[in-house]
Amino acid sequence: MPDSPFLKSDRLNNLSYAIRGPIFEKAQQLEALGQKIINLNIGNPAPFGFDVPDEIIHDMIINIRNAQGYSHHLGIFSARKAVMHYTQQLGIKGVNIDDIYIGNGVSELIIMSMNAIVNNGDEILIPAPDYPLWTTAVSLAGGKPVHYICDEHEDWNPDIEDIRAKITSKTKGIVLINPNNPTGAVYEKDVLKSIVKLAQEHKLIIFSDEIYDKILYDGHKHYPVATLCDDVLIFSYGGLSKNYRAAGFRGGWMILSGPVHRAKSITDGLNLLASMRLCANVPTQYAIQTALGGYQSIDDLVAPEGRLTKQRDLVHYMLTDIPGISCIKPKGALYLFPKIDLTKFDFEDDNDFAFRLLENKHVLIVPGSGFNHFDKSHFRVVFLPQLAELEQASKLMEDFFNHCRVNHSKVAV
């Protein structure tokens, strides 16, 4: 008899991370065969010429010998002090240095916080669409992700009544992703205040993913939810990967605010988990003070004539110029989330579109359902490549849409 296979943990069944899922694996296969793929699937700035500011690199280099050993499990003092000063600049009240946790990127801190808080069967409200790590992290911790609607007709702001309707006795907290990945929404202040009110009424924790808080276009303003109240326990997340284009450095922070004195059990759990991983990578920690206190070069990139603004505008114009494609213009972050009118094309759904676009045009995007969206008619486009490559990719998508249009003469693929 053949040997029985070794099986993965049951906890991983039905979990996915579409950004590096089956379509990404197909793209790798095509690249291995010599095909050139235009990658519009992941928000990784460095491959597209967005370099980390020189002063950050310099400070890491001169401190490298100081970074040879383990650091304090919460992070080095200078990094946490810099984040604390940042909270003061933002207007978040009462944050102490021990309320700040440095992590190997925000991803680690999300997983850590879910493991510290979520019991089996606890429910966490998560936006739909979401950044899929949140859904997976809740499930891995034994909880139940419950997705609330973000309304495309309201600039992708959260639907307050849908959130209210989905709160149960098992609900433990509400996740916000603001500015939003994948939609590019920047939430209105009144919407955030309404979510705070729900958290107050139901004694919920707010988990606010604010990794794109400086990537804002057209004068739009980001309101850190922790500045809007001091009686709700709030976990705020930020880092170096997007604002400072240092994704590979894996440097992030988590800030606890509000009635932290009532959360000693949670902070004991967080300290245990932080200690188990020994510490976050130390060389990157020496970059945090320089990043937060130095020149904010991201402002140049999102200015009206900045590179990111121009790239967003080009892709938005070219895609929405295609009949059957619509898209709310992003106010922040690095993504567009266009909608396909499936009645006008011969695609079964967003996955079918993404696979066929890759196979026929060698353009890699992520289907909207990979972000736990309720419908299957959206896709996410990263607008990090240079203008020429984005124009090429947009033309290839236009050609493909025209080829797949229902009841129209088709052009050759």
HEC states along the chain?
CCCCCCCCCHHHCCCCCHHHCHHHHHHHHHHHCCCCCEECCCCCCHHHCCCCCHHHHHHHHHCHHHHCCCCCCCCCHHHHHHHHHHHHHHCCCCCCHHHEEEECHHHHHHHHHHHHHCCCCCEEEEEECCCCHHHHHHHHCCCEEEEEEEEHHHCCEECHHHHHHHCCCCEEEEEEECCCCCCCCCCCHHHHHHHHHHHHHHCCEEEEECCCCCCECCCCCCCCHHHCCCCCCEEEEEECCCCCCCHHHCCEEEEEECCHHHCHHHHHHHHHHHHHCCCCCHHHHHHHHHHHHCCCCHHHHCCCCCHHHHHHHHHHHHHHCCCCEECCCCCECCEECCEECHHHECCCCHHHHHHHHHHHHCEECEEHHHHCCCCCCEEEEECCCCHHHHHHHHHHHHHHHHHCECCCCCCCC
- Over the stretch 20-48, which tens digit does the pLDDT of each residue have? 778 888 888 988 989 999 999 989 999 99
The tokens for 347 are 């695609």
User: Which percentage of the chain shows pLDDT scores above 90?
Assistant: 89
Mean pLDDT throughout 333-355? Answer: 95
Mean pLDDT throughout 335-345? Answer: 96
pLDDT in the model for residue 80: 96
Phi, psi of 274, rounded to the nearest 5 degrees? -65, -40
Higher-confidence residue: 17 or 382?
382
Label residue 408 by pLDDT band (50, 70, 90).
low
pLDDT in the model for residue 289: 95
Among 85-94, 294-303, 391-400, 403-412, whose mean pLDDT is lowest?
403-412
Query: What domains are defined for the chain?
Result: 10-51+300-403 (3.90.1150.10), 54-293 (3.40.640.10)
pLDDT in the model for residue 409: 47
Residue 276 has pLDDT above 60, yes or no: yes
Mean pLDDT, rounded, of the chain: 94
Residue 87 has pLDDT above 50, yes or no: yes
pLDDT in the model for residue 287: 94
Mean pLDDT throughout 294-298? Answer: 94
- Over the stretch 121-164, which tens digit does the pLDDT of each residue have? 999 999 999 999 999 999 999 999 999 999 999 999 999 999 99
Higher-confidence residue: 328 or 26?
328
